[in-house]
């Protein structure tokens, strides 16, 4: 049954269009939504069994690749990390499927659309349940393919095609780094199985790279790259993170994400809330042991995540397209998740990923309802007063806004969890973890704390700006929209209800498990558990790994590839028995470390100061106050602090000019090189000297020979006479020479 949760969406993708030919488009919609719904229901069953019940296991479906020491199975890995992702992916995907029944009814081509949605879901499920890096890479590329198909769904629209190609190409940059990281892992350890790789890192086993005469403990091992020696785990960590940067739209590889809004709104919700962009965060958390042993790579994660959180928030300040505001919000929130992982707070990173799925899907699907209700208008400057037209949508969007801005009461607990919306609980844990990491000397920890606070100010500002411009104040909509509002189908409103409940209560409900006192038992070895508030930077030595070995089926004890593969085999042998306790940390020890409760009133020794506890709340109030002061009046479009025509306004409005810079230094030179190779290289040299040249020579020769055939009898008689004369001359000359 475990395989059903992954394969059900694939069946829906394969059957969607054939079923539509037999039973119509509604049959296709019902089939795909039902299969994903069953997978979602079973995902919750597995979550309670695996994450809360502790019954971790891996089910091998079949042997996939076997070539010498390279042995890869296709499996379904069920630990807390994958179980958490299963409920996020399947639950949001099911709600998106149901929502799409109403959203897509006027667009047509529903069978193809629902097939793509289910394919997208299957690819992400393959990724999160992978038991090795190769299977994970298959799912990784699968979500890239599905995103290309969905972003460019309206393929007759040039902007949609351009956006799909842009997303695909930018992701190839990151995916190349990810592939190199997998090659490097196999080169160093001789295996790509998660258990064998992570156990080797955890226990600091001796590893001998392929072709090397002797090895070294993996934490001290260096490999030669471009003639210089580099720390092996740092190289691996950096390469894996480059892949995560592309898939999760981090700074420098983020440019595809806002353009992805060209796809239908349900696609945006699925990409931003549950599937593609969360893959990078999942990868870093899955390989958390590597980053704990490679502080430089972890520092890179922290730095890039911090800059992304700040950068995307600044760009979101002045966006007018309702979907692009939320898109840049996603980019910023992903930055929070990454810098939390970078400082060692992997539980906080996954907690924010979990809560973010609820309120971000709610915001995107709510914006889709606004777009339908406003006759496909997406410019918030042409809205206003929508609350009276779409009162229920307004309530759902308001809940999502309260969640993302972080409304709650610092220092107050309800049933052992902080009192507040989901975003308040998880985002505050991320920011406080960054502060604790900074005080303990973790690289860029304090920088992440400051960037997180600044991003929180801007998040509140642009979120409330969107609400004021869209729902409140006088209507700026065209007359036909005000007179004839487009009612939103119930199929589009019902999926918003569970998302709203999650945005309200998911943070409080799951706080103890993700980051509270129950976290060690909950995670059960699926992620590295920091011994201190901000992590331990990789200096925890062998003793940290002692508690893991029994449950993960053995570690690599020496550097030979044979032993590394043997460890992988041992891991396979232990799969059905589960992964075991793994952490070696008791709940009491974890709580006493202060990490469990952080700044939310824990009993341990790592409290954050009161001002740190209140800082995110103050940042939220500051941003909200700015939005209320500027946009709550009767003229919300009046010039503000950043006026049109100014340098800062233009800088932010044009998204820091990244598209223009990339166009100037990458796109245009590539086009010029391509044009030169096409015209001069291919056209003149290859074709000119090759097929075209040969053809031209033959044609020219033929034209010359044709001139001999004039059609006049006297020309032919004269030619024959000349021929006879030449022949006689030759014969006489030969006869005379013989005498």
* Residue 364 burial class via C-beta count within 10 angstroms: exposed 0-12, middle 13-18, buried 19 and up: buried
Instruction: Please give the DSSP secondary-structure letter assigned to residue 456.
Output: H
For 170-203, the pLDDT digits (tens) are: 999 999 999 999 999 999 999 999 999 999 999 9
**C-alpha–C-alpha distance, residues 215 and 286, integer Å:** 25
Q: Tokens 């471009």 sit at which residue?
A: 226
Q: Give the pLDDT score at 429.
A: 94
Q: Which of 553, 544, 532, 567 is nearest to 219 (CA)?
A: 544
Tens digits of residue pLDDT in 415-430: 888 999 999 999 999 9
What's 99-111 look like in SS3? HHHHHCCCCCCHH
pLDDT at 484: 66
Burial class of residue 399 (count of CB atoms within 10 Å of its CB; 0-12, 13-18, 19+): buried
Chain centre to alpha carbon of residue 5: 21
> How does strand 57-67 pair with strand 70-78?
antiparallel
Tell me the percentage of the chain whose pLDDT exceeds 70. 88
Task: Answer whether 0.75 is exceeded by the pTM.
Answer: yes
- 538 three-class SS: coil
DSSP assignment of 109-169 = -HHHHHHHHHHHHHHHHHHHT-SBHHHHHHHHHHHHHHHHHHHTSSTTSHHHHHHHHHHHH
Q: At 610, is the secondary structure helix, strand, or coil?
A: helix
d(CA 439, CA 470): 42
Q: Is 322 helix (H, G, I), strand (E, B) or coil?
A: helix
Report which DSSP code applies to 634. S
Report the candidate in 506, 501, 505, 500 with the shortest Cα–Cα distance to residue 366.
500
pLDDT in tens, 119-145: 999 999 999 999 999 999 999 999 999
Residue 482 burial by Cβ neighbours in a 10 Å radius (0-12, 13-18, 19+): middle
Position 545 pLDDT exceeds 60: no
- 572 pairs with which residues across the strands? none
- The predicted model gives 627-633 an average pLDDT of 87
Q: Mean of the pLDDT values across residues 244-256?
A: 93
**Helix/strand/coil (H/E/C) assignment for every residue in 587-602:** HHHHHHCCCCCCCCCC
d(CA 446, CA 438): 4
Find the range with the poorest average confidence among 156-165, 231-240, 490-499, 552-561. 552-561
């Amino acid at each position: 049954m475990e395989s059903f949760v992954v394969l059900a969406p694939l069946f829906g993708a394969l059957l969607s269009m054939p079923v539509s030919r037999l039973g119509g488009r509604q049959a296709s919609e019902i089939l795909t939504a039902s299969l994903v719904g069953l997978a979602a229901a079973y995902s919750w069953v597995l979550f309670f069994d695996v994450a809360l019940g502790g019954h971790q296991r891996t089910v091998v479906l079949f042997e996939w690749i076997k070539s010498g020491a390279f042995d890869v199975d296709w499996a379904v890995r069920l630990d807390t990390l994958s179980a958490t992702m299963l409920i996020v992916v399947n639950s949001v995907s099911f709600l998106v499927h149901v929502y799409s029944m109403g959203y897509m009814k006027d667009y047509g081509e529903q069978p193809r659309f629902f097939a793509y949605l289910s394919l997208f879901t299957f690819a992400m499920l393959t990724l999160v349940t992978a038991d090795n890096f190769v299977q994970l890479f298959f799912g990784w590329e699968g979500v890239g393919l599905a995103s290309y198909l969905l972003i460019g769904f309206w393929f007759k629209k040039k902007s949609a095609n351009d956006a799909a190609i842009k997303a695909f190409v930018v992701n190839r940059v990151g995916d190349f780094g990810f592939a190199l990281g997998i090659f490097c892992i196999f080169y160093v350890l001789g295996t790509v199985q998660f258990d064998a790789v992570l156990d080797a890192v955890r226990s600091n086993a001796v590893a001998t790279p392929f072709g090397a005469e002797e090895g070294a403990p993996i934490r001290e091992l260096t490999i030669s790259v471009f003639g210089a020696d580099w720390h092996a785990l740092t190289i691996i960590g950096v390469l894996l993170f480059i892949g995560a940067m592309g898939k999760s739209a981090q700074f420098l590889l983020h440019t595809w994400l806002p353009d992805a809004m060209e796809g239908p709104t349900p696609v945006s919700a699925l990409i931003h809330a549950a599937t593609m962009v969360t893959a990078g965060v999942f990868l870093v958390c899955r390989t958390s042991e590597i980053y704990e042993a490679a502080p430089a790579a972890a520092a890179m994660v922290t730095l890039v995540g911090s800059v992304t959180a700040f950068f995307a928030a600044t760009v979101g300040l002045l966006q007018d397209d309702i979907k692009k505001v939320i898109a840049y919000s996603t980019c910023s929130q992903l930055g929070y998740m990454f810098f939390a992982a970078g400082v060692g707070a992997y539980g906080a990173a996954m907690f924010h990923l979990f809560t973010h799925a609820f309120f971000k899907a709610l915001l995107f699907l709510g914006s889709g309802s606004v777009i339908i209700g406003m006759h496909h208008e997406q410019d918030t400057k042409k809205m206003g007063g929508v609350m009276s037209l779409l009162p229920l949508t307004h309530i759902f969007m308001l809940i999502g806004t309260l969640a993302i801005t972080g409304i709650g009461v610092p220092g107050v607990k309800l049933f052992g969890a902080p009192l507040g919306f989901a975003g308040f609980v998880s985002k505050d844990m991320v920011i406080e973890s960054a502060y604790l990491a900074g005080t303990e000397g973790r690289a860029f920890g304090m920088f992440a704390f400051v960037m997180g606070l600044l991003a929180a100010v801007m998040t509140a500002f642009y979120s409330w700006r969107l609400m004021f411009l869209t729902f409140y104040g006088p209507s700026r909509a065209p007359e036909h929209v005000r007179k004839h509002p487009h009612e939103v189908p119930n199929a589009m409103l019902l999926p918003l209800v569970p998302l709203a409940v999650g945005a309200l209560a998911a943070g409080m409900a799951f706080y103890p498990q993700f980051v509270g006192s129950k976290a060690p038992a909950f995670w059960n070895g699926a992620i590295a558990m920091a011994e201190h508030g901000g992590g331990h930077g990789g200096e925890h030595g062998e003793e940290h790994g002692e508690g893991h070995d029994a449950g993960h089926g053995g570690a690599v004890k020496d550097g030979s590839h044979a032993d590394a593969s043997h460890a992988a085999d041992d891991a396979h042998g232990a799969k059905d028995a589960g992964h075991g306790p793994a952490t070696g940390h008791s709940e009491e020890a974890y709580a006493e470390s202060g990490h469990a409760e952080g700044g939310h009133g824990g009993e341990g020794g790592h409290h954050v100061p009161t001002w740190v506890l209140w800082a995110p709340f103050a940042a939220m109030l500051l941003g909200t106050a700015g939005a209320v002061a500027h946009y709550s009046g009767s003229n919300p479009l009046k010039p503000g602090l950043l006026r049109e025509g100014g340098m800062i306004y233009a800088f932010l409005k044009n998204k820091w000019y990244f598209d223009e810079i990339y166009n100037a230094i990458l796109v245009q030179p590539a086009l010029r090189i391509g044009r030169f190779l096409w015209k001069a290289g291919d056209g003149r040299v290859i074709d000119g000297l090759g097929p075209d040249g040969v053809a031209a020579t033959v044609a020219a020769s033929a034209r010359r020979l044709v001139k001999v055939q004039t059609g006049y009898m006297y020309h032919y008689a004269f030619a024959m006479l000349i021929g006879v004369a030449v022949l006689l001359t030759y014969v006489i000359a030969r006869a005379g020479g013989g005498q």
